[in-house]
Amino acid sequence: MWNELIPILAKKGYKVVAPNQRGYNPGSLPREVSEYELKKLCEDILAIGDYYGFDRFHLVGHDWGSSVGWALAGFNPDRLLSWSALSVPHLKAFGKAYKTDEEQKKKSRYIGFFKLPYLPEWYFSFNNYSNLIDLWSESSEKQIDIYLEIFSKKRVLKSALNWYRANVGKITPEVSPQLGDVYVPTLLLWGKNDAAIGRKGVEGTDKYMRGPYELMELEAGHWLIQEAFQDVSKAIVKHIETYSLHPEN
């Protein structure tokens, strides 16, 4: 999904890394659900930064990538120069909306299904993954082909669902305080027509922001970079440039 944004940043002198996260590559398919907890997903991003020699870096994430980014902004803010979140708001703001807001409850009904054992894997792999393809309504045929190549590999679909099973509703008191105030310069991009994320959590994000913060609402749905590429890419580039030490970051 980042293929069109990468050359834009590269031309401006930035080093860009866009990894598949754990659970999507043959060499990173842990079997235990606990291996997909946010803390470990954050450790992956830090390890990637260490591998490339990035003491500090800009971070951009969408959906679960946003969830990991919010956690990293809480756990290791010293490593981030800036943070750009697509679609998913601050985790505590979303968590509160998930529990109390009727609109968000309705939009999140799918999560209960995703957390069930076995049935979601069968549902999404049924009929040559047709139900999975339906989720990618805004993706190009080329993107869908790449996604299918990955998801059709053994255990990848289960691993992707384990992200939900390991984290949703399982933020412990020990972890929760670290997911509070955010001091990292942050940009939140949200589509007003997002089928999964309601307004309540988005508007509640401001409560936790202690550093520079911008909310940009778009006439789009959940798949922001596919639906509104020009607006999204310009906003991300502007945010990164604003908080860059120098172009090599």
- The number of beta carbons lying within 10 Å of the beta carbon of residue 134 is 9
**Amino acid residing at 88:** V
Per-domain boundaries in the chain: 5-9+34-108+171-242
The confidence band for 3, taking pLDDT boundaries of 50, 70 and 90, is very high
| Residue with more model confidence, 171 or 213 | 213
Q: Are 25 and 187 in contact (CB under 8 A)?
A: no
pLDDT digits (tens, 9 = 90+) for 14-50: 999 999 999 998 889 999 999 999 999 999 999 999 9
Name the nearest CA neighbour of 106 among 198, 221, 217, 202.
Answer: 198
Q: Which residues contact 193 (CB under 8 A, 6 or more apart)?
A: 219, 220, 221
pLDDT tens column, 67-116: 999 999 999 999 999 999 999 999 999 999 999 999 999 999 999 999 99
* Main-chain dihedrals φ then ψ at residue 23, nearest 5 degrees: 100, -5
In the structure, what pLDDT confidence band is assigned to residue 60 with cuts at 50, 70 and 90? very high
The per-residue pLDDT for 26 is 80
pLDDT tens, residue by residue, 156-198: 999 999 999 999 876 554 556 678 899 999 999 999 999 999 9
Q: Which fold has domain 5-9+34-108+171-242?
A: Rossmann fold (3.40.50)
Instruction: Look up the pTM and report it.
Output: 0.94
Task: Please report, to the nearest 10 degrees, the dihedral formed by the alpha carbons of residues 249, 51, 232, 235 taken in order.
Answer: -20
State yes or no: pLDDT of 234 exceeds 70.
yes
Q: Pick from 153-157, 198-202, 245-249 the range whose average pLDDT is largest.
A: 198-202
Taking a C-beta distance cutoff of 8 angstroms, is the pair 64, 94 a contact? no
Give the residue-averaged pLDDT of 136-142.
93
